[in-house]
Structure 1
Amino acid sequence: MVSKYSTKFLNICVASFCKSQQMQKAEDVIIDGIRLGVLPDVVTYNTLIDGYCRFSGVDTAYSVLYRMREAGISPDVITYNSLIAGASRNRSLEQSLDLFEEMLQSGITPDIWSYNTLMHCLFRLGKPDEANRIFKDIILKGLSPHPVTFNTMINGLCKYGYTSNAIMLFRNLQRHGFVPQLVTYNILINGLCKVGRMRAARRMLNEAMDSGLEPNAVTYTTLMKSCFRCRQYKHGFEIFFEMKNRGYAFDGFAYCTVIGAFLKLGRFEEANVCMEQMIKNGLGFDLVFYNTFINLYCKEGKLEAAYKMLDELESQGLEYDDYTHSIITDGLCRNGNIEGAWRHLNYMYTTGFVSNSVALNCLIERLGKAGQIDHAMKLFESMEIRDSFAYTSLVHNLCKGIQVKQGRSDQNYEWLDSFTDYLGLNVALDQKLLQL
């Protein structure tokens, strides 16, 4: 039995408050514990650091290190793993590497989770070669890899199109005694589906089942969605019915995938049956469901149907999100209704959405294609956050304007030069045009 004044009880309380995102209460519990003579230990501070990393930021979490040292408690590998994981979630590779280096300089030996987190961060930031080097370091240093290590590597290779390499690694691991679980097979099936290797994906599914593993909703939904994307509707529906016959539970995403396929084929009655089945299974219609169908109607030019879905969404007490606004803006642009897209953006701002880069990018792209480069530039300059899509779209349309509309070429050259200065690129304009 845990004493009410033990450090273990203190840690349980701190962990509970951290999980519920009540960080100030977690701090208050530590202060009250010290007053009562219950001193925090490394577990207490590690729990606090992990909570701050998840809900407040790495900088706030890092400040706890000073308090630990003042209390005479030395950080351990778990302390730094939490900080590195927090930096990784923020896609900050430089900060992750700095923390890793600091850990080494403090005399703390990294464990397998330190390397796993670094690998994951490198893959997320589009550096598969560096992630592969980390993986080789794990093997060379004689660390015992965890299944998560292998899954991270296989998933990263698949994500960047190295599916054949992922399968070779998988087979090599199997020869050395690695027993894959369903999550590994799901990763490989998803990777094969993304590169259109449907037969190989199906063989991988059969292999998983022959190994005694039971496919889940993720497995079947991945295969089914890929079939629909490749317009192999018959095969996709076969997977759907196979899943039903085997008694696997569908989630909302699986239902939306099937309903969307039925609607694309004009099989509205069967789509309605699926909707009724969703309700019967207690899944209901969430925002993902409505966004799925609004997107489908917009792509097919059925804006009236899309707006009806918006009305129904509101009647269900749901609120639009950034994705909803992006879908509507893109749909209006696709159908040449730039004025309507402008109105929708204004409506978006009046309802509290300060910025939506995806929606703005859609409008910038459409304005450029329509030759309204002045409006595109003004919209671009009004953006608080500008991503690579916005720059690419503008540069592409500016170059087209130089080639097609000679009367506007001088101004387009001026804008392109300003882009060059802004990005700090010492590249001749003629070279840029040749590359594009």
Structure 2
Amino acid sequence: MRLPRRRPLRVLHRRGSWRRPLPCLCFSSSTSMKGGGAPNGSDLAREISNLLRVGTNWKLLMVTSDLPRRLNPNAISAVIESQNQVLDPKLLLDFFYWSASQIGAPPNIDSFSSLAILLCNSGLFPLANGLLERMIKTHPSHSSVLDSINHSFKQCEKSNPAVFDVLIDTYKKMGLLENAAEVVLLMKGGAFKPGLRCCNALLKDLLKANQMDLFWKIHQFMIEKRIARDVYTFTILIGAYFKGGDAGSAKKVFREMESMGCVPNAVTFNTLIDGLCRSGAIEDAFKLKSEMVQKGLAADVFTYGALINGLCKDRRSKEAKLLLNEMFGLRLNPGVIAYSTLIDGFMREGNVDEAFKIRDEMVASGIRPNISIYNNLVHGVCKMCKMDKALELLKEMVRVGWKPDTMTYNLVIEAHFREQDVKGAFHMLDEMRNQNVSPNLYTYSVIINGLCRCGKTRQATEFLEEMIVKGLEPNAVIYTTLISGNCREGRLEEACGILDKMKELKVVPDVFCYNSLITGLCKSGKMDEARNYLAQMQEIGLLPNSFTYGAIIHGHSKGGDMDKADMYFREMLSHGLMPNDVIYTALIDGHCKADDVAEAFSTFNSMLERGVLPDVQTYSILIHSLSKRGKMQEALKIFSELEEKGLSPDSYTYTSIISGFSKTGDSEKALHFHDEMCEKGIEPTIFTYNALIDGFCKSGDMESSRRLFSSILEKGLVPNGVTYTIMIDGHCKSGNITEAFKLFEEMLSNGIHADNFVYNALLGGCCRVGDLNRALDLLNEMVPGGFATVLSFNTLIDGFCKLGKLQEANQLLQVMMDKQINPNNVTYTTLIDGHSKAGNMEEACRFFTEMQEKNLSPNTVTYTSLIDGHSKKGYLVEAFALFEEMLAKGIVPDEIAYQVMIHAHCKEENLVKAFQLRDEMTGKGMQMSGVTYLTMIDGLCRKGDVSKAVKLLDDMEQQGIRPNDAQYRMLIDGLQRSGFIEEACQILEITMKNGWVAGDTSSSSLLDGCQKLVVQEAIACPND
């Protein structure tokens, strides 16, 4: 049943419940029904206004009427715009919210604006706040909201502009700080502007949120809109400059505000002091504190706190403690923060005792240390590896009422892992769980990292699974740790699998993740896979950095693929990445190992041109490479440059120099550098002594080698396998097999396993002294142990061949093939040489054919042995044919080959060809031996060309070749026996006259013999 429309008004009139009139809002008639309202909108507004005058019963009256059905946004707007008929703005607000719920649609945006202005005019700012929040939620566009408020504000004079401040404040309270700033900036071209307090508050909030771009825009807006800045504005501005790291501008603002008549207050001074302390300008901060006091402002707890913090960060905690005493003198009570800062400062400086004294002073002054202070103390003692003290602190925390939190346990667990104490870490984890403290992401990260570093990557993976089950999501850092751990332990397949798992779980791998995997693959020489992952990371938009390229370059350099190493180095440079000394050193080392010293030095010079300073390792690699090649002058030059740069050579540097001189046979200089390094306090290593001993052994000075070997133990060093091998080889080469085997037994008794090098040295020694039975025993020992190599068999075959035991040598060839050890061209060449020397040319030729059937190429030595064998047997045609075949195959003759051919042509009495080969040989810088010279001289004498023979004798003398008496005797005897008595006498007379042969009894008897033969020949043939 509908109530009569006029009745509510009568009831209201009788009760006399009229309210005070509202402040006027003057809306024009044109706006009262905008939006196309109902024809009777004004009447509906009047009806509603009349019902609202009833007071508390208006809702009941409206609900029981048809008004709710007739309500619409325009009607609501009309009621608000005709507010002069309603007495209470709170009542109007109540109606606004109720009507919005009745019509099921948001009111017009201008309704919100008009009512918000009305509320602000009445000083009801909190209610305006709430209304504007609903307005913003209903109409998200901040520009539309501002336009509507601007429009409504202009409709009435004398409205309170505080509505704009309330709007900005509402945006901030809703967490829409950027929108708040943008609303202010939208006012730039308008007639309205927020108040100073509003702007200051906004600046403060933007500074706190680190929204510095908007901060400076708002500050510029204030200047352009001529909003006068006050002490609070300048204080906030000083803080902003410090946040941007611009201490100079902060100080400038401080001085400018004074010149503008704006007096800094304590907060301004404190802000500046705090900023100066944080930026490290502590002395300036102290000067400012003095200025503050001079201006009648008392330094407070914040002032001292800032100074204490600055000093502690500058590792001047003792000075900071004096400020604490100063505070007590001023009756200022240091708070928890000041004490906490001091404790942290002393802990950072490693002064644990002083940190605990501050804690005790704090407790004595009645201030209870909080959980943060205890965690600081725990962190400090854990860093100092004082685990017992850390556990005491945990107990103390519980005793004084603090429960150790996740951070506390994380610190102690991490410290246990740092000490490689896995058991202690797990004990603490169990205690953590028993105390119902849940491990967090960092806890698992610490455990996984600790286990990986302890070589327990499989167990770390179990913790990864556990954290996933518990709903914790591992991040890229944890996965990277696991990848690195697996790579370190050689489980590259598992490492690659972890990366795949990351992708499945939608965890995006970062550059560090890929770098860990690529580095692991490169260290294991899996360069194809490493390059694939490099391409993969680029495909997903990750840019390789210096570490990525460094790993790839190092891997290729280590593997000897310098073309690819150089290619990735150029690619790195093209991406604007700067190589460091480690990358350059890897490249230099790679080129040196590839025997490209020129390119190594080119890279070294490039390094210097780019301003990258080489370290000792870089110089040492170059020194080692040059020394290895016997280029000792160049090595010494680099050594001097190293010292000129202020770098100190290490044991590797000195060992390289010592090894170089030892290899070139200059043991004196090697010892000089050994003594020099000892004088500088650089301890020689076993490698240093190995180099020295090797030098003496190579020069045949076994006494010095033995002396050095004996001194190794005195130096606290232990001989290794290489040391023993060098000594054993040295004794074998000097023919002292007994001492060699004695050292061999000593080596085995010291637990050093023999390898093929030492066995081959002993084998060679036995063969050298002709003890082939012992050599065979050694070989029989070597074969089952897998130590026998081609070299082993070749050494023994050579030994048998030299003793003429060719059948045994042939049998050894069969044995090595039965043992699946393939003979090489040295094997066959040795057999061919042995049979050729024995005149077994048929067998030699059989081996020559067999080696070629096995695709083994004969070399100069092979051909020379065959040619010499054929020549000595008188098979000159075959010898000459072999020489032509050798040349046709592109095999270059050496000195021996040429001389064998010269002998063959002399035997054929083809001296023209012999001299042609002599000229060809000497033209290539080769030198004939004395025997070859005498062979040619013999040939010339037999031809009767003594003058040419004498010229050859002169040539011998000029070349520094002086055949001994025995060789001359052989030449002269040969001439005598062949009937060339006169020529023999002439040669002997000339050599004695020139002093080429000593005038001893044997030479004189030779000459007498020649003369007697001439006389006898004359008597026998008188007619001649």
Using structure 1 for the length normalisation, give the TM-score.
0.81
**Distance in structure 1 (CA, Å) of the matches to 2:771 and 2:909:** 50
The residue that corresponds to 1:364 in the other structure is: 864
1:16 Cα offset (Å): 4.6
Q: Secondary structure at the match of 2:910?
A: helix
The residue that corresponds to 1:285 in the other structure is: 788
1:48 Cα offset (Å): 2.1
**Distance in structure 2 (CA, Å) of the matches to 1:184 and 1:368:** 45
**From 297, 313, 316, the counterpart of 2:816:** 313
The residue that corresponds to 1:188 in the other structure is: 692
**From 379, 404, 407, the counterpart of 2:886:** 379
1:244 Cα offset (Å): 3.9
Q: Which amino acid aligns with 1:117?
A: I
Q: Secondary structure at the match of 1:253?
A: helix
The residue that corresponds to 1:42 in the other structure is: 546
**Distance in structure 1 (CA, Å) of the matches to 2:915 and 2:842:** 24
Cα 1:375–1:321 change in 2 (3 A) is closer
Q: CA RMSD in A?
A: 3.7
Cα contact 2:733–2:768 (8 A) shared by 1: no
The residue that corresponds to 1:413 in the other structure is: 916
Q: Which amino acid aligns with 2:552?
A: L
Cα 1:198–1:421 change in 2 (3 A) is closer
1:68-217 aligned within 5 A: 68-217=572-721
Between stretches 78-87 and 14-23, larger displacement belongs to 14-23
Q: Secondary structure at the match of 1:248?
A: coil
**Distance in structure 2 (CA, Å) of the matches to 1:331 and 1:123:** 38
**Distance in structure 2 (CA, Å) of the matches to 1:316 and 1:324:** 15
The residue that corresponds to 2:75 in the other structure is: none
Cα contact 1:329–1:363 (8 A) shared by 2: no
Deviations 1:171-203 (A, max 9, x none): 122122121111111111111111111111111
The residue that corresponds to 1:61 in the other structure is: 565
Cα contact 1:402–1:412 (8 A) shared by 2: no
Cα 1:328–1:98 change in 2 (3 A) is farther
**From 25, 46, 53, the counterpart of 2:529:** 25
Deviations 1:191-247 (A, max 9, x none): 111111111111111111111212122222222221121112332233233334444
Cα contact 2:587–2:603 (8 A) shared by 1: yes
Cα 1:75–1:366 change in 2 (3 A) is farther
Between stretches 59-68 and 155-164, larger displacement belongs to 59-68
Cα contact 1:42–1:73 (8 A) shared by 2: yes
The residue that corresponds to 1:427 in the other structure is: none
Cα 1:64–1:408 change in 2 (3 A) is farther
Q: Secondary structure at the match of 1:143?
A: coil
Deviations 1:54-81 (A, max 9, x none): 5464233212222112333222223332
Task: List runs of 5+ in structure 2 lacking aligned partners.
Answer: 1-477, 481-498, 500-508, 927-951, 962-1024
**Distance in structure 2 (CA, Å) of the matches to 1:67 and 1:296:** 56
Q: Secondary structure at the match of 1:214?
A: coil
**Distance in structure 2 (CA, Å) of the matches to 1:89 and 1:131:** 16
Query: 2:809 aligned with 1:302, yes or no?
Result: no
**Distance in structure 2 (CA, Å) of the matches to 1:345 and 1:155:** 40
Cα 1:218–1:418 change in 2 (3 A) is closer
**Distance in structure 2 (CA, Å) of the matches to 1:416 and 1:365:** 22
1:261-276 aligned within 5 A: 261-262=765-766, 274=778
1:41 Cα offset (Å): 2.2
Between stretches 331-340 and 296-305, larger displacement belongs to 331-340
Q: Which amino acid aligns with 2:634?
A: E
Q: Which amino acid aligns with 2:799?
A: L
1:319 Cα offset (Å): 2.6
Between stretches 271-280 and 40-49, larger displacement belongs to 271-280
Cα 1:270–1:114 change in 2 (3 A) is same
**Distance in structure 2 (CA, Å) of the matches to 1:142 and 1:399:** 60
Cα contact 1:83–1:99 (8 A) shared by 2: yes
Which one has a bigger Cα radius of gyration?
2
Cα 1:69–1:248 change in 2 (3 A) is closer
Deviations 1:70-115 (A, max 9, x none): 3332222233323322322232232222222222223222222322
Cα 1:92–1:410 change in 2 (3 A) is same
Cα contact 1:329–1:345 (8 A) shared by 2: yes
Between stretches 400-409 and 282-291, larger displacement belongs to 400-409
Task: List runs of 5+ in structure 1 lacking aligned partners.
Answer: 424-429
**Distance in structure 2 (CA, Å) of the matches to 1:398 and 1:279:** 41
Q: Which amino acid aligns with 1:379?
A: M
1:252 Cα offset (Å): 2.7
**Distance in structure 2 (CA, Å) of the matches to 1:405 and 1:120:** 52
1:31 Cα offset (Å): 0.6
Q: Secondary structure at the match of 2:798?
A: helix
The residue that corresponds to 2:756 in the other structure is: 252
**Distance in structure 2 (CA, Å) of the matches to 1:44 and 1:26:** 10
Give me the identity figure in percent: 25
**Distance in structure 1 (CA, Å) of the matches to 2:517 and 2:918:** 58
Cα 1:313–1:123 change in 2 (3 A) is same
**Distance in structure 1 (CA, Å) of the matches to 2:902 and 2:625:** 35
Cα 1:251–1:187 change in 2 (3 A) is same
